[in-house]
Amino acid sequence: MKRLLVANRGEIAVRVFATARRLGLGTVAVYSDADADALHVRQADAAVRIGPPAARESYLDGKAILAAAKEADADAIHPGYGFLSENAAFAEAVIAAGLTWVGPPPAAIRAMGLKDAAKALMLEAGVPVTPGYLGEDQSAKTLASEAQRIGYPVLIKAVAGGGGKGMRRVDAAADFAQALESARREAKAAFGDDRVLLETYVTRPRHIEVQVFGDAHGNVVHLFERDCSLQRRHQKVIEEAPAPGMDAATRAAVTGAAVKAAKAVGYVGAGTVEFIADASEGLRPDRIWFMEMNTRLQVEHPVTEMVTGLDLVEWQLRVAAGEPLPRAQDEIALCGHAVEARLYAESVAGGRFLPSTGRLDHFRLPDAVRCDAGVEQGGEITPFYDPMIAKLIAHAGSREAALAELAEACDAVEVWPVKTNAGFLARCLEAPDFIAGDMDTGFIERNLRTLTRPAEPSAAALSAACEAAMVAAGEATQSSPWQALAGFRLNAAPQRAVRLFREGRPVLAEPSHGAPDRSVLITEERVIVVFESGEAMVFADHPPNAEGAEGGGGDGQVRAPMPGKLTAVNVKAGQRVAKGQTLATLEAMKMEYALAAPFDGKVADIVAKAGDQVVEGAVLIALEPE
C-alpha cells in the first residue's frame, strides 16, 4: 500500500489523511463541484473531481471513484463513514479492480447491512436481540398488526443504513400509518430501500456500543464501550467512553457479546456493535440487547482513541495490509475518560435545529481540546451534505473533569455568520442530571426548552459590544440620540452609555475602560458580534427597520426555512387545514423536516410541487384564514 484514496469528504477525509501521512502513504482526495475548494482537497497530495454537488452523482458514484483511483494511481481505498462505506457491492468492485479495500469483507458488510437479517444471524449466534418484527411481509396491514402485537410504543426502523434515518417512534395505533409512510420515504431517499422492521420501544433506553477489531488471521478484540445516549432525532450529539455506571459484570457481558457477533460473520477491520440497554434500573447484564452492527469506522471513534491511546485508522490500514492486530486483548487498557461533542451548522432556536448554510467568514475552534474539523475560515457550508462541521473531544482523568473541559471548549467556539449548536452542546454538558449520569436517549427531548434557550449577554459582553460600537462610530457621533446618552448617576463620576439593539430590543451598555475579555467582530454592515457561551450575540447601533421585520407565519405564507428539496406536499388548493397540521415535508442535509400550518384556515395556493429544489425563504404554500 503506497497511495491511499479516501472515498469521502470533510472531517473524516482530513482525519484519515493525517494518519496516512504519518505512515508515509501518498494521499488522494475526491471532490464534487461543491467541494472544489474544500479543506480535504487542499490537504491531499492529489485530488480528482468525481461529479456535481448531489451525493448520488458524486460521492455515491462508485464507478467515478474507481476511475479517480486509476487516474491518481492509488492502490488502496478508505471509505470513511457514510456514503459508500457500508456498500458491499462497492467493496467488491474495489477488490475486483485489484485495489486494497480498507474495510471489512464484503460478505460481512452484506451480513450486517440489513438490520433484520443481522438480527436473525445474531439470534443464531446466541447474541441477545431486541424483541420485535423481522418478517419479510412489508404490507402496511401486516406491519400495523405486528405493531399491535408488540405493543406501543414501537420503533419503526429502516432495515438498511443508519444515522437515525428512516426511524420513527410511534406511541399509538392511530399514528402508525403516517409514521410508516414518512419512515419509508426517508429510507428510500437515503438508502434506496424502503423496507422496515419493528422493535419494542424501551422507555428508558441507553445507547451502548462496543468498538471491535478483527484481522485476517482470525483474531478479534474489543476496545471497550462507548455511551452514545445523548441523541436528537435518533442522531448522536455527545458520545463518551467508558459508559457511565458500567460495572465489570455488565462490561464483560456486552463486550463478550460484541466479540461473539464479530466472529459470527468472520469480521476483519474496524466495526461497532450497537446495543440498547434498559436503564430504568441502571446498567445490567440481562437488560442489554443487540441492535445492529456498523461495518465501518464510527464518527465517535476519537473517544476510544483517547481512552486507549491507539490510532484506529492506523489499525485499519495495518489490518488491510494483511498484518495481525497490533495488540492482544490483554494489552488493551482503559485510561481516564473522554467525551466528544458534534459541532453542527444549525440553528437551535425554538428547538427546531434547522441547518445553517453559507460562508464561514469567522471560524475559530478552541486549542485546549482535540478538534477534528473538515472546514476552515473562508470555507463554505453547503446544503448538499451532513451539517456536522467539526468534532470537539476532551480527555481527562475523570468524567467530571472531561465534561467540564469540553463544556468550556464549546463555550469558546466562534463561528459567523453560519449558526452552530455550540451553546446548546455546552448546556447539555453542564446539565446536572447529565453530569450525574442520569440520562437516556430521551434526555434532550425532555429538557429541550432549557437546553435550547439562548444565553443572555453578560455584563462583560455588553461592555465589549459598547466599546465596539464606539469604535465603529469613530467617536464622531456622540451627539446622535441613538449613540450618546449622558451618564447620570448619583454619587458617581459621569459615564458614557451607548444604546444598542439586540434582537430588535434596545439595551444600554457601558464601556469597561479596560481590555475587553470577549472576542468581538464588527462586520462591514456595522453589525457587532460578541462571542460568548458558544453563541454569536448580535448587536446593532441603530434601531431595526420595522418594514423589514419577518412575519411569524401569521401572513399565511409557508416558506422554506432552509434550502432543500420538497419531498412531499400533503394538501391541495381549497383544502381546509388545522393549526399544526403537516402541509409538506422538506429534505435538507439528509434529514426530513415537516412544515406545519400556522393557523386554522384554507389552502389558497400551492406554489411549489414535490421534487422542487427550493431556496431559503421561498414561499411554498399560501393559506388564508376562514
CATH number assigned to the domain comprising residue 346: 3.30.470.20
Span 331-346, pLDDT tens digits: 999 999 999 999 999 9
Cell of 289: 440487547
Q: Do 92 and 162 sit in the same domain of this protein?
A: no
In 295-348 the beta strands, taken as DSSP E runs, fall at 337-344, 346-347
* Predicted pLDDT of residue 556: 84
- Domain termination site, one of 527, 547, 567: 547
Confidence (pTM): 0.81
The model's confidence at residue 590, banded by pLDDT at 50, 70 and 90, is low
What local confidence, expressed as pLDDT, does residue 241 receive?
98
Among the candidates 427, 452, 477, a domain finishes at 452
Whether residue 233 sits in one domain with residue 147 = no
The size of the chain, in residues, is 626
**561 and 528 share one domain:** no
Neighbours of 577 (CB within 10 A): 21
Q: Which of 378, 379, 388 is nearest to 343 (CA)?
A: 388
Q: Kindly state whether residue 120 falls inside one of the protein's structural domains.
A: no
Q: 232, 287, 296, 427: which is the annotated catalytic residue?
A: 296
The verdict on residue 312 lying in a domain is: yes
Position 346 scores a pLDDT of: 93
Beta bridge partners of 371: 392
Strands 3-6 and 26-32: parallel
CA distances from 85 to 60, 102, 105, 221 (A): 10, 10, 12, 21
Q: Are 383 and 588 in contact (CB under 8 A)?
A: yes
Which residues are registered as beta bridge partners of 158? 196
Average pLDDT of the segment spanning 369-377: 97
Is 227 or 492 the better-scoring residue by pLDDT?
227
Q: Are residues 426 and 440 in the same domain?
A: yes
Residue 564: per-residue pLDDT? 82
Judged by average pLDDT, the poorest of 24-28, 93-97, 114-118, 167-171 is 114-118
Same domain, 444 and 466: no
Among 403, 431, 452, give the residue marking a domain's end.
Answer: 452
Residue 514 has a pLDDT of: 60
* Residue 23 sits in the same domain as residue 76: yes
Nearest partner of 255 among 300, 297, 208, 308, judged by Cα = 208
Q: Confirm if 118 and 292 have CB atoms less than 8 A apart.
A: yes
pLDDT at 334 (0 to 100): 97
Query: Domain for residue 117, yes or no?
Result: no
Span 285-301, pLDDT tens digits? 999 999 889 999 999 99
Question: Looking at residue 487, what is its pLDDT?
Answer: 37
Percent of the chain exceeding pLDDT 70 equals 93
Distances from the Cα of 589 to the Cα of 192, 356, 362, 615, angstroms: 17, 10, 22, 13
Domain harbouring 580, CATH code: 2.40.50.100
pLDDT band at 544 (very low <50, low <70, confident <90, very high): low
Specify if 301 maps to a domain: yes
The whole-chain average pLDDT of the chain stands at 90
| Domain identity same for 61 and 160 | no
* pLDDT grade for 513, boundaries at 50, 70 and 90: low
Structural contact between residues 599 and 552, judged by C-beta atoms closer than 8 angstroms: no
State residue 403 phi and psi, 5-degree precision: -65, -45
Residues 219 and 276 in one domain: yes
Model confidence pLDDT, tens digit, residues 187-229: 998 888 999 999 988 889 999 999 999 999 999 999 999 999 9
108 within domain boundaries: no
Give the Cα separation of 111 and 88 in Å (integer): 9
Start-to-end C-alpha separation, the chain: 69
SS3 assignment for 41-108: HHHCCEEEEEECCCHHHCCCCHHHHHHHHHHCCCCEEECCCCCCCCCHHHHHHHHHCCCEECCCCHHH
On the question of pLDDT at 155 being above 90, the answer is yes
Q: What is the pLDDT of residue 479?
A: 41
Query: What is the SS3 string spanning 259-274?
Result: HHHHHHCCCCEEEEEE
Q: How many domains does the chain have?
A: 5
Residue 333 and residue 241 share a domain: yes
Spatial distance between the Cα atoms of 447 and 434, rounded to a whole number of angstroms: 11
Residue 62 lies in a domain: yes
495 and 376, same structural domain? no
Averaged pLDDT, 133-157 = 94
- Average pLDDT on 435-462 reads 93
Annotated catalytic residue 296? yes
- pLDDT attached to residue 350: 83
Q: Which residue has the higher pLDDT, 46 or 291?
A: 46
Q: Are residues 228 and 343 in the same domain?
A: yes
CA angle (333, 317, 389) in 5-degree steps:
85
Q: Which residues pair with 276 in a beta bridge?
A: 207, 289
Cα distances from 572 to residues 326, 585, 621, in angstroms, run: 62, 14, 10
Residue 112 lies in a domain: no
Is 7's pLDDT higher than 70? yes
- Report the CATH number at residue 143: 3.30.1490.20
Poorest-confidence range of 379-393, 564-578, 612-626? 612-626
**Statement: residue 547 has pLDDT above 70:** no
Is the pLDDT at 102 greater than 90? The verdict is: yes
pLDDT score recorded for residue 476? 36
Looking at residue 411, the DSSP 8-state letter turns out to be: H
**Same-domain status, 228 and 194:** no
d(CA 407, CA 389): 18
pLDDT of residue 552: 42
Cell of 128: 441477545
Residue 543: DSSP 8-state:
-
In a domain, 17, yes or no: yes
> What pLDDT band is residue 160 in, cutting at 50, 70 and 90?
confident
Parent domain of 264 = 210-452
